[in-house]
Amino acid sequence: MGEIIGSSRPDEVVAIGCHLDSWDVGQGAQDDGAGCAIVLDAARIIASLEERPQRTIRVVLFGNEENGLAGARA
């Protein structure tokens, strides 16, 4: 999804992520959607800081990782 490049250790990566696994009108969209909103806002806050993190922050929104692992394999 995106990265915030680290200031002194850019080759060391810290991943933050969430997953979306709800289909159609299922109620899980609220649960998983909230996790993705939290991850995106955490990345926004980190990116807005005056001092950059030392390590690269990688933001990942996973999808379809539970339905036959098609998303996980990709």
Catalytic residues: 65
- Exposure string of 31-44, with b = 16+ CB inside 10 Å and e = fewer, is ebeeebeebbeebe
Alpha helix positions (H), the chain:
28-48, 70-73
Residues 28, 34 contacting (CB under 8 angstroms): no
The helix/strand/coil state of 16 is strand
